[in-house]
Amino acid sequence: MRIGVAGCAGRMGRLLLDEIARAEGAGLSGGTVRRQSSHYGDDIGRLAGREPVGQPATDSAATLFGHSDVVIDFTHPDALAAHLEAATVAGKPLVLGTSGLSAAQEKAVADAASRIPIIYAANFAPAVNVMLGLVRQAAAALGPDYDIEIVEMHHRQKIDAPSGTAIALGRAAAEGRGIDLEANMESGRHGHAGRRKDGAIGFAALRGGQVVGEHEVIFAGAVEHITIGHRSFERRIYAQGAVRAALWVAGRKPGLYGMLDVLGMAGR
């Protein structure tokens, strides 16, 4: 399968190139960078830390989708519209891991998924997606007597907070409890914030050093607490999950899928 990578010169982009080159049944079809990037025109094999493959990095999303069976996109929300357009025009699947999307952008993803298959996930690590299912089950089982707090920590360069994974965990908890996350979300408490609101789902975002990603969901009852947590020690796990998703999505019908579909856990 020919797999392309949008934003192939960044940390995740290079890991994705390398994982595609390693994966059985997959091959590199191309990669994009910004025109002003110092890596514009670089061989994507070199960017992956491998031998040249004779394929230079381009700035054309249309070219990338045209040459690929599926494209993986872990870039920036500002690039989403162009990538969705290129994907739908080419009729090619998209594996989307870009975080920090607005509600309008998430709607655009859902609209595009009526024409092409899209796998959209806040986190492609398999264990994180198992955690989402556990959080949903715990929220449903424990009920409103247990306060829910979500704590996440990432490297100091991360620009969005709370993380996309933290928000996904909050949505899983809200679904389990049968409530709307946006209407019950408390984030960034400071000063005299008042007592905790009944039914609230709280978020705390920590930033420092080079932490790859840590997430904890705390269910705090009056006389007991339970914590469901996950730690990532290497970014490579995200790349491995995304390549697994790219191989899975081939031949699927148009629709919006998640990693639980890839793992065979959807609806559980």
Catalytic residue set: 154, 158
C-alpha to C-alpha distances, 34 to 7, 42, 49, 92, 137, nearest whole angstrom: 8, 12, 20, 21, 42
d(CA 104, CA 96): 16
Cβ count near 42 (within 10 Å)? 18
Q: Give the bridge partners for 187, in sequence order.
A: 203
Q: Write the CB contacts of 224 (distance below 8 Å, at least 6 apart in sequence).
A: none
The token pair that represents 142 in the structure block: 């424990």
The residue written with tokens 């400071």 in the block is: 190
User: If phi over 0 gives left and psi between -120 and 50 gives alpha, with beta otherwise, what is residue 40?
Assistant: beta
